[in-house]
Amino acid sequence: MNDQPSKPLKLYMLLLGSKAPGRHVEQHDFFFGIATELKELVPDIKKFWRGAAGNIHIDGYREVANVDGYRINVVPKDETNIQTEERLFFINLGGYQAGKLEEQHHVILSVRKNRAQAIQDAKNTVFFKTSTTVDTNEARAHIDDKYGIDVDDLYEIAEMLSPVQKAKYHIEITPSPGLPEDEVHLGYFRLDRL
């Protein structure tokens, strides 16, 4: 009998980078995965971004444990006891700043009951209120009536997991006010050195 406790499952949020073949600049995407250690996600990362031809690295990551006064845990689906209305959302805001030939981005995680509440949460960020180009007509076509700012992407994180992980795990969300913010690890992390 094994008396040692098993390592807890963690929800990881990764910022992946790759200068894929035929590209002039590094591209990025976000990846969510469940594992006990970061290195266990390497095969899933490679499947996720097939066009990168093995040229993928991690530019930053976070173990998602605390969001908006809620504790985030990962449990096997057969052990799920707590059902809540709250959902964990990933929101990618895109906006423009006058004089910069690039789209600015701001990413947030939000615990809310539905998409409409998550969008409202995003609209209350400093980024949403300040990254606008009200002096230009060109940006307005990109926007949902916000002059240069847009909710580019909004997903429930449970839907961003791989099919295998969606079938095996449940993201448990419980109120836990006063928890510290998750630590964000930034840098250039090669997959073969995790």
Amino acid in the structure at residue 186: L
Q: How far apart are CA 20 and CA 56, in angstroms?
A: 8
Residues 60 and 78 in one domain: no
pLDDT tens-digit series, residues 6-62:
899 999 999 999 987 888 999 999 999 999 999 999 999 999 988 776 789 999 999
Do residue 100 and residue 14 come from a single domain?
Answer: no
Are 105 and 80 in the same domain? yes
Q: Tell me how many domains the chain contains.
A: 2
Residues 44 and 119 in one domain: no
Q: Assign residue 138 a region (left: φ > 0; alpha: ψ between -120 and 50; beta: otherwise).
A: alpha
Q: 181: which residues sit within 8 A by CB, 6+ positions away?
A: 66
**Residue 147 domain boundaries:** 66-175
Say whether pLDDT at 65 is over 50. Answer: yes
Indicate which CATH number applies to the domain containing 28: 3.10.20.10
Whether 121 and 94 map to the same domain: the answer is: yes
Same domain flag for 80 and 158: yes
How far, in Å, CA of 162 to CA of 26, rounded?
24
Answer left, alpha or beta for residue 189, where phi above 0 means left and psi between -120 and 50 means alpha: beta
Report residue 96's pLDDT band, with 50, 70 and 90 as the boundaries.
confident
* Tens digits of residue pLDDT in 119-157: 888 878 777 777 655 555 554 323 343 434 456 688 999
